[in-house]
Structure 1
Amino acid sequence: MGASRPDPRRREGNAESGPAVAVTTKASATALAATGGTLPLRQEDEDSDAFRREDHELDKAFSAVLARMTAGISPAALSMAYLDWACHLAAAPQRQMENVHNAWQMARQLAERSLHLADPNRSPWDLIKPQPNDHRFSKPQWAMQPFNLLAQSFLLGEDWWHKATTGIRGVDPANEAVVDFSLRQLLDMFAPSNFAATNPEVIEKTFQSGGENLVFGWQNWLADLMQVLHPGRPPGNAEFVVGRTVATRPGKVVLRNRLMELIQYAPTTEKVRPEPVLVVPAWIMKYYILDLSAHNSLVRYLTDQGFTVFMISWRNPGAADRDLAFDDYRSLGVMSALDTIGRIVPNTQVHATGYCLGGTLLSITAAAMARDGDDRLKTITLFAAQTDFTEAGELTLFINESQVAFLEDMMWERGYLDTTQMAGAFQLLRSNDLIWSRVSRDYLLGERASPSDLMAWNADATRLPYRMHSEYLRRLFLNNDLAEGRYRVEGKPVSLSDIHKPMFVVGTLRDHVAPWKSTYKIHYEVDADVTFVLASGGHNAGIVAPTDEQGHSHQVRTKAADAPYLGPDEWLSIAPRVEGSWWPTWIEWLKQQSGTLREPPQLGTEGASDLPDAPGDYVHT
Structure 2
Amino acid sequence: MTTEDRTPGSPTEAADAEMSEARALRLQENLARIEELSKRLTAALTHRKQADPALAGPAPDVYMKAATAYIAEMMQNPARVVEHQVNYWGKTLKHYVEAQQTLAKGEFKAPPDPGPKDRRFANPLWDTHPFFNFLKQQYLLNSEAITTAVDDMEALPDNDRRRVEYFTRQIVDMMAPTNFLATNPDALEKAVATDGMSLVQGLENLVRDVEGNHGELVVTLADREAFKVGENLATTPGEVVYRNRMLELIQYTPTTDKVHKIPLLIFPPWINKFYIMDLKPQNSLIKWIVDQGFTLFVVSWVNPDHTYAGTSLDDYIRDGFLRAMAEVRRITGEPKINAVGYCIGGTTLGLTLAHLHNAGDASVNAATFFTTLADFSDPGEVGVFLNNDFVDGIERQTETDGILSKLFMARTFSFLRSNDLIYAPAIKSYMMGEAPPAFDLLYWNGDGTNLPARMAVDYLRGLCQDDGFAKGQFKVFGKPVSLHDIKLPLCAIACETDHIAHWRGSFNSVRQMGSDDKTFILSESGHIAGIINPPSKNKYGHYSNDAPVEGPPEDWLKAATFHKGSWWPRWKDWLAARSGPLVKARQPTDSLSHAPGTYVTATPAD
TM-score by length of 2: 0.84
Partner of residue 492, structure 1: 479
1:578-597 equivalent positions in 2, closer than 5 A: 578-597=563-582
Residue 165 of structure 1: how far off its partner (Å): 2.9
Question: For 1:511, which of 490, 493, 498 is the aligned residue?
Answer: 498
Partner of residue 522, structure 2: 534
Cα distance change, pair 266–72 in 1 and its aligned pair in 2 (3 A) = same
Q: Are the aligned partners of 2:98 and 2:111 in contact in 1 as well (CA < 8 Å)?
A: no
**Which deviations, in whole Å up to 9, do the C-alpha atoms of 1:545-586 show, x marking residues without a partner?**
122225222222234xxx472422222233222222222221
Question: For 2:121, which of 109, 129, 137 is the aligned residue?
Answer: 137
Matched residue count: 544
2:457 is the alignment partner of 1:470? yes
1:294-373 equivalent positions in 2, closer than 5 A: 294-373=281-360
Tell me the SS of whatever aligns to 2:586: coil
Q: Are the aligned partners of 1:129 and 1:152 in contact in 2 as well (CA < 8 Å)?
A: no
Partner of residue 616, structure 1: 597
**Which deviations, in whole Å up to 9, do the C-alpha atoms of 1:401-430 show, x marking residues without a partner?**
232122100111010001110001001111
Name the CA distance, whole Å, in 2 between partners of 1:138 and 1:364: 47
**Which deviations, in whole Å up to 9, do the C-alpha atoms of 1:153-203 show, x marking residues without a partner?**
212212222232344343232223222222221232221111233233334
Q: Are the aligned partners of 2:240 and 2:597 in contact in 1 as well (CA < 8 Å)?
A: yes
TM-score by length of 1: 0.82
Residue 513 of structure 1: how far off its partner (Å): 0.8
Partner of residue 292, structure 1: 279
2:392 is the alignment partner of 1:405? yes
Name the CA distance, whole Å, in 1 between partners of 2:390 and 2:53: 15
2:535 is the alignment partner of 1:547? yes
Partner of residue 601, structure 1: 586
Residue 462 of structure 1: how far off its partner (Å): 0.5
Tell me the SS of whatever aligns to 1:485: coil
Name the CA distance, whole Å, in 1 between partners of 2:196 and 2:319: 57
1:219-298 equivalent positions in 2, closer than 5 A: 219-229=204-214, 236-298=223-285
Name the CA distance, whole Å, in 2 between partners of 1:149 and 1:344: 68
Residue 532 of structure 1: how far off its partner (Å): 1.7
Residue 300 of structure 1: how far off its partner (Å): 0.7
Name the CA distance, whole Å, in 1 between partners of 2:551 and 2:54: 43
Name the CA distance, whole Å, in 2 between partners of 1:441 and 1:233: 10
Cα distance change, pair 197–326 in 1 and its aligned pair in 2 (3 A) = same
Partner of residue 489, structure 2: 502
Amino acid at match of 1:444: M
Q: What RMSD, in angstroms, separates the aligned Cα atoms of the two structures?
A: 2.7
Name the CA distance, whole Å, in 2 between partners of 1:86 and 1:391: 25
Name the CA distance, whole Å, in 1 between partners of 2:510 and 2:310: 34
Q: Are the aligned partners of 1:274 and 1:348 in contact in 2 as well (CA < 8 Å)?
A: no
2:194 is the alignment partner of 1:198? no
Name the CA distance, whole Å, in 1 between partners of 2:461 and 2:442: 31
**Which deviations, in whole Å up to 9, do the C-alpha atoms of 1:534-554 show, x marking residues without a partner?**
222221122111222252222
Q: Are the aligned partners of 1:278 and 1:309 in contact in 2 as well (CA < 8 Å)?
A: yes
**Which deviations, in whole Å up to 9, do the C-alpha atoms of 1:12-60 show, x marking residues without a partner?**
xxxxxxxxxxxxxxxxxxxxxxxxxxxxxxxxxxxxxxxxxxxxxxxxx
Amino acid at match of 2:349: L
Question: For 1:90, which of 57, 71, 77 is the aligned residue?
Answer: 71
Name the CA distance, whole Å, in 2 between partners of 1:66 and 1:167: 38
1:32-181 equivalent positions in 2, closer than 5 A: 67-69=51-53, 71-73=55-57, 78-91=59-72, 92-95=74-77, 98-117=80-99, 118=102, 124-126=112-114, 129=116, 135-146=119-130, 147-181=132-166
Cα distance change, pair 254–216 in 1 and its aligned pair in 2 (3 A) = same
Cα distance change, pair 556–418 in 1 and its aligned pair in 2 (3 A) = same
Name the CA distance, whole Å, in 1 between partners of 2:196 and 2:564: 45
Q: Are the aligned partners of 2:125 and 2:185 in contact in 1 as well (CA < 8 Å)?
A: yes
Name the CA distance, whole Å, in 1 between partners of 2:121 and 2:333: 59
Cα distance change, pair 114–83 in 1 and its aligned pair in 2 (3 A) = closer
Q: Are the aligned partners of 1:534 and 1:554 in contact in 2 as well (CA < 8 Å)?
A: yes
Q: Are the aligned partners of 1:442 and 1:448 in contact in 2 as well (CA < 8 Å)?
A: yes
Amino acid at match of 2:68: C
Residue 371 of structure 1: how far off its partner (Å): 2.0
Question: For 1:182, which of 147, 164, 167 is the aligned residue?
Answer: 167
**Which deviations, in whole Å up to 9, do the C-alpha atoms of 1:218-269 show, x marking residues without a partner?**
3322332332237999672223111212122222222211111111111111
Residue 385 of structure 1: how far off its partner (Å): 1.0
Name the CA distance, whole Å, in 2 between partners of 1:191 and 1:416: 35
Question: For 2:202, which of 217, 231, 241 is the aligned residue?
Answer: 217
Cα distance change, pair 359–257 in 1 and its aligned pair in 2 (3 A) = same
Residue 328 of structure 1: how far off its partner (Å): 0.9
Q: Are the aligned partners of 1:354 and 1:360 in contact in 2 as well (CA < 8 Å)?
A: yes
**Which deviations, in whole Å up to 9, do the C-alpha atoms of 1:63-118 show, x marking residues without a partner?**
x98744564435xxx21222223234334424466435423432222222233244
Q: Are the aligned partners of 1:84 and 1:172 in contact in 2 as well (CA < 8 Å)?
A: no
Tell me the SS of whatever aligns to 1:598: strand
Q: Tell me, which stretches of 5 or more residues in structure 1 are unaligned?
A: 1-63
**Which deviations, in whole Å up to 9, do the C-alpha atoms of 1:328-361 show, x marking residues without a partner?**
1111111101111111222342121011100001
Larger radius of gyration: 2
Q: Tell me, which stretches of 5 or more residues in structure 2 are unaligned?
A: 1-47
Cα distance change, pair 226–97 in 1 and its aligned pair in 2 (3 A) = farther
